[in-house]
Amino acid sequence: FQPKVLAGRHVVVTAGPTFEALDPIRGITNHSSGKMGFAIARAAREAGAEVTLVAGPVHLATPRGVQRIDVKSAQQMLQATQAAVQQASVFVATAAVADWRPASQAEHKIKKDGSGATPVLHFVENPDILATVAQGERARSGALFCVGFAAESENLAEHAKAKRARKGIPLLVGNIGPLTFGQDDNALLLVDAQGVRELPRAPKLQLARELVAEIAARLQRAPHA
């Protein structure tokens, strides 16, 4: 039995990696499986929310009752997310967004020219989707509660506290190591203004349900639209 603690709320979740194209054939991506974000989308739906899941390229089934928007690049993810959060009261950023994208995208496949010369890649920085949304009108007015994730290989608590401040968000969730991809369980560190609390290792769906309950409790304490 899941209490409908998010009934009447709209929750937006980003999940998975992004794919930054180099040419029509190739691109740069990462090992994010999207499992945590999909579990959060499912848990939020079970809790009665309307859920929009903005997904990078992943191999996962859409949770029942969840509206899914598939994107590839960080720029597409930003655009889809900004449109979706206009009506939302919660934004959970779990996506592993590429920090950089190739500065230009070749129209045709980049070919070997036979000389042994190798291509030189130039990059530009991608937008920070979470920081952009957190600095937006809706979040700053208190209508949109933003939650970020952090994966660190060391000093998680310190990095997580700093990241929470830097991104300007009320709640940051740290993935407690070791850094693994595609695993079905995880342990989380919740970092908020009050301090740090651990959700011990458990299946991602269970952690997602606990996190949804935490978010719902915070919404109730400081009612958001």
Annotated binding residues for CTP, as ranges?
Answer: 99, 109, 127-130, 149, 163, 167
Q: Kindly tell me which of 14 and 186 has the beta carbon lying closer to ligand C5P.
A: 14
Reference 150, options 196, 191, 182, 201; nearest CA is 191
Does the protein bind ligand C5P through residue 150 (CB under 6 A)? yes
User: Phi and psi (nearest 5°) for 21?
Assistant: -70, 145
Q: Kindly tell me which of 97 and 207 has the beta carbon lying closer to ligand C5P.
A: 97
- The residues in 115-144 that bind ligand C5P, with binding defined as CB under 6 A, are 126, 128-130
DSSP string, 153-200: SS-HHHHHHHHHHHHT-SEEEEEPSS--SS-SEEEEEEEETTEEEEEE
Instruction: Kindly state the smallest distance separating residue 133's Cβ from ligand C5P, in Å.
Output: 8
- The residues in 159-198 that bind ligand C5P, with binding defined as CB under 6 A, are 163
CA distance 140 to 197: 25
Instruction: Kindly state the smallest distance separating residue 14's Cβ from ligand C5P, in Å.
Output: 6
- The residues in 8-27 that bind ligand C5P, with binding defined as CB under 6 A, are 14
Catalytic residue among 30, 155, 175, 186: 30
- The residues in 60-119 that bind ligand C5P, with binding defined as CB under 6 A, are 74, 93-95, 97
CA distance 219 to 52: 18
Pairing of strands 145-151, 90-93: parallel
Q: Is there a catalytic annotation at residue 30?
A: yes
Q: Kindly tell me which of 3 and 177 has the beta carbon lying closer to ligand C5P.
A: 177
Residues ≥6 apart with Cβ < 8 Å to 106:
22, 23, 24
Contact between 5 and 47 under an 8 Å Cβ cutoff? The reply is yes
Q: Which residues are catalytic?
A: 30
Contacting positions for ligand C5P (CB under 6 A): 14, 74, 93-95, 97, 126, 128-130, 148-150, 163
